[in-house]
Chains A and B, each alone.
Chain A
């Protein structure tokens, strides 16, 4: 199962895992060089800038002298990262001395960028051609609406109003790991699916984009093309219109998918058509380094287990429905109750009490967020108690040993089982013991040897 939580920060690891050939091709694009430079750890950034105008290799010894002794661990991390991303190439000469030099393509492109600010392959379109452009607020609302619609479809909700243009096979790829897909059974959110819903938008976006890229080879698209276009997109200006005819065939194909995700808005004029990047797109390379600002909360939980959610978002309702019982719903307010039965449903789906409580805490309405705790203690405790009520009986496959010939053999067997961390229970009076089933074979051999 994919580890959803760590994926969000892993985009550069994915870049690093590209084969050397493709990585070199990526560095031919100056915008990628810049995006990569931004994502580096501070020390690595410094090394790159310092070596930008050095053409020959720099010996490892000299590089080490640049840092104080206590910075050596950071130094190692920076070097590893640079080598991993093939920004540094390592050479060992005849005297067994290591030296590094910057990747020449990367170096040339960054230098160019410093001297004559590299321009994007496309300019914003002049406003007299373009019809009325959406305002920034409209654009953001559009992006979030589009993203929510995609998420609703992703979790197979019946609430989704319109469907995106993703093929069902593509959707399946996104759902992998988030929904359990058993035959003859309605798919359900898995544990990581629930965690996915709880992540902030940027982290979710990265997860989806990652799946999109790693699946691209099956669709005969080069992942390097995708990555370079996505990074390039993040250097466009939000809210400006860019002409569609500046795009290549592959990019034009991609841009439809990106519009479905809410990364860009497509518009058509009388003759020309253009795309407008939204905040989601321009934040792509920013989100590598810092996460977005916290969204405003909307949930109020009362001590009587009532839950009020001031939100018009259907997605929020879907999430709350996972663990609460809906009482009534107004256009901008969802009222539910946290009941034992509704929680049991959630627990059956692999959602834990801690996840529910932390969701309620993180999304607390500003009016209650200042209170400590923001979720009433009795509610949080009861949720935990109901969860532990489900785990009252613990069963372990085991073997019971009795009729030991002597106390010595019994005690030796107990010690042996303890060494393997397999002793569940012992009764030294009656000389009986229970041992985990995994080590039965070892026990049998041990007891044979005792005879």
Chain B
């Protein structure tokens, strides 16, 4: 019997995939969202996490940039 799982298919570069995997590892067991790590640039995750991932990435980006004060 074929089994279907609903989720989000993520396609990105290797560093971003590692970032997301690390994010997943840092969460408590109940909140882990990665269903399958398909290969080095593709992940399959739970359907509701897209906003969470996006905001985590943009936070990370903000931490890594410096704006000269006026």
Which of A393, A394, A434, A443 contacts B44 (CB under 8 A)?
Answer: A434
A421: CB under 8 A from chain B?
no
User: Is the beta-carbon distance between A399 and B4 smaller than 8 angstroms?
Assistant: yes
Which of B5, B12, B36, B67 contacts A393 (CB under 8 A)?
Answer: B12
CA distance A427 to B3 in the complex (A): 15
A400: CB under 8 A from chain B?
yes
* A-facing residues in B16-64 (Cβ within 8 Å): 16, 20, 35-36, 38, 42, 44, 47, 50, 53-54, 57
Which of B42, B47, B67 contacts A339 (CB under 8 A)?
Answer: B67
A residues within 8 A CB of B50?
A: 395
Instruction: Report the interface size for chain A: residues with CB under 8 A from the other chain.
Output: 29
Instruction: Looking at the assembled complex, report how far the CB atom of B27 sits from the nearest CB atom of chain A, in whole angstroms.
Output: 18
CA distance A383 to B36 in the complex (A): 35
A444: CB under 8 A from chain B?
yes
User: Is the beta-carbon distance between B10 and A399 smaller than 8 angstroms?
Assistant: no
Given the interface pairs A340-B65, A393-B10, A396-B8, the reply to whether A425 lies near B38 with Cβ below 8 Å is: yes
A392: CB under 8 A from chain B?
yes
B residues within 8 A CB of A392?
A: 12-13, 16, 57
User: Is the beta-carbon distance between B11 and A403 smaller than 8 angstroms?
Assistant: no
A residues within 8 A CB of B67?
A: 339, 341
User: Is the beta-carbon distance between A399 and B7 smaller than 8 angstroms?
Assistant: yes
A16: CB under 8 A from chain B?
no
Interface 1/0s, chain A 394-413, versus B by CB < 8 A? 11111111111100010001
A447: CB under 8 A from chain B?
yes
Instruction: Looking at the assembled complex, report how far the CB atom of A321 sits from the nearest CB atom of chain B, in whole angstroms.
Output: 13
B residues within 8 A CB of A400?
A: 4-5, 7, 35-36, 44
A residues within 8 A CB of B38?
A: 425, 427, 434
B residues within 8 A CB of A405?
A: 1-2
Instruction: Looking at the assembled complex, report how far the CB atom of B47 sits from the nearest CB atom of chain A, in whole angstroms.
Output: 6
Given the interface pairs A402-B3, A404-B2, A437-B6, the reply to whether A397 lies near B12 with Cβ below 8 Å is: no
Lowest 6 CB-CB distances: which A-B pairs, in order?
Answer: A398-B9, A393-B12, A403-B3, A400-B5, A396-B9, A394-B11
For this complex, 13 residue pairs linking A to B, each with C-beta atoms less than 8 Å apart, are A392-B12, A393-B16, A393-B20, A393-B53, A395-B50, A396-B8, A396-B9, A397-B7, A399-B4, A399-B5, A399-B7, A405-B1, A432-B36
Which residues of B are at the interface with A, using a C-beta cutoff of 8 A?
Answer: 1-13, 16, 20, 35-36, 38, 42, 44, 47, 50, 53-54, 57, 65, 67
